[in-house]
Amino acid sequence: MVAKLTMLCIISSHGLNYRHSALLNRTKEIGMRRGILALLAALSMTALFAGGCANKEVVKSEEAVVPKEVIAEPVKAEPKSEPVKPVEKIAQAEPPAAKQAEKAAVAEVSFETVYFDFDKSDLRQDARNVLNKNADILLKSKPDAKVQIEGHCDERGSAEYNLALGERRAKSSMQYLITLGVKADRLSIISYGKEKPAVQGNDDAAWAKNRRAEFVAK
C-alpha cells in the first residue's frame, strides 16, 4: 500500500510539474506575442511620425519657393534708355566711315593727259580744257598733292631734239596750271623725249598718242 501511495504521489507530482511548465511556456509565448505587437506598433508610429515630418519639410520647401518667384518679378522693369546706346555708337562711327569713303573717292580721281600737234609745244583748246580739269583736282580734291609733269614725243626726230621738245611741252603745261591758281612749288617737270611711247606703232594714230604731257602725283 505504501508503495502504491508513493507511486501515486510521484505521478501526481510529475503531472503538476508538467502542467506548471506548460503554463510557463504559454505565458512566455503570450509575452513574446505582446512584445512583437508592441514592436510593430512602435515601428508603425515611427513610420507615421517620419512621414509627417517629411510632409512638413516638403510643404516648407514648396512654401519657400514662392517668395523667390515673387522677388524675381520686379527684375522685369528695366530702363528703356539702355537700348539707345548701340544707336549712339553707330552714329558716332558714321563720320569716320564717311571720311574713309571720301578719301577713297579722292584717291580714285586721276589726272588726264594733254596732247600736242606735231613738233609743237603750244596748247590747243582741248589741251587747255584738260588742264582746267587737272587744276580743279589739284585745288579741290588733292590740295596737298604735288605733281610731276612728264613731257613725251613721238619717235620721229633725234633723241636730243625730242628731249628738248618734251621739256617745252611739260613747261607750257606747268605755266598754264600756275595761271589757274596752282602753286609753283607743287609742280615739277621732266622730259623723256621719245624713250617712253604710250602706244607702239609707226602711223599717225600711234604718233598722236605719243605726243603728250602726263601728270603723276608725288
d(CA 188, CA 178): 11
**Separation between Cα atoms, residue 135 and residue 182, nearest integer Å:** 7
| pTM of the predicted structure, to 2 decimals | 0.52
Domain ranges of the chain: 111-217
Is 90 exceeded by the pLDDT of residue 206?
yes
Residue pLDDT, tens place only, 165-175: 999 999 999 99
Cell (9 digits) for 94? 558714321
Q: Considering only CA atoms, which of 162, 164, 175 is closest in space to residue 207? A: 162
Residues 101-158 pLDDT 10s: 555 554 567 899 999 999 999 999 999 999 999 999 999 999 999 999 999 999 999 9
Class of domain 111-217: alpha beta
Instruction: Determine the average pLDDT of the residues in 62-67.
Output: 46
pLDDT: which is higher, 40 or 202: 202
Which range of 26-40, 50-64, 93-107 scores highest in mean pLDDT? It is: 26-40
State the DSSP code for 92.
H
Query: What SS3 class is residue 217?
Result: strand
